[in-house]
């Protein structure tokens, strides 16, 4: 569950990342510029499958939170799981846009809801599900 092979991440920097997810999902949902889903797919894949510390947006938000004195380090495992879900949703959104289907509006709406909740309250539903999975599994 806990990722000790990756340095801790800043939870407040991830709140800024939630703002980006919310904005990109809203652009996808409400405008004809649905190609922006590639931002979610690539960013989520980089942060979730490689390392958050390799992502330019996370590095910028992390530096900003450090400068503002808002740095709050947490284990990277749950946030990386959340990023994997964003990568999958972004990929679905992008591919369905390429295919001319409107099915991508469903993951866009889901991302908007959960990114908004994370942004305003700090509650990450994917992080909660990640922790619950390991609790139920008994590890």
Maximum pairwise Cα distance, the chain: 46
**pLDDT per residue rounded down to tens, the chain (139 residues):** 567 788 899 999 999 999 999 999 999 999 999 999 999 999 999 999 999 999 999 999 999 999 999 999 999 999 999 999 999 999 999 999 999 999 999 999 999 999 999 999 999 999 999 989 888 887 5
What residue segments make up the domains of the chain, in order of their start? 9-137
Phi-psi bin for 72: left (phi > 0), alpha (psi -120 to 50), beta?
beta
Q: pTM (2 decimals)?
A: 0.92
């Amino acid at each position: 569950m806990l990722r000790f092979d990756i340095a801790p991440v800043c939870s407040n920097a991830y709140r800024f990342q939630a703002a980006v997810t919310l904005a990109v999902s809203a652009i996808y949902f409400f405008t004809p510029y649905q190609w922006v889903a590639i931002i979610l797919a690539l960013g989520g894949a980089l942060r979730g499958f490689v390392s958050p510390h390799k992502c330019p947006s996370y590095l910028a938000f992390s530096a900003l939170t450090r400068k503002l004195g808002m740095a709050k380090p947490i284990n990277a495992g749950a946030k990386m799981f959340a990023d994997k879900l964003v990568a999958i949703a972004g990929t679905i959104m992008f591919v369905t846009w390429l295919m001319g289907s409107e099915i991508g509006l469903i993951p866009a709406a889901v991302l908007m809801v959960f990114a908004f909740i994370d942004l305003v309250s700090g509650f990450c539903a994917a992080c909660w599900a990640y922790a619950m999975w390991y609790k139920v599994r008994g590890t």
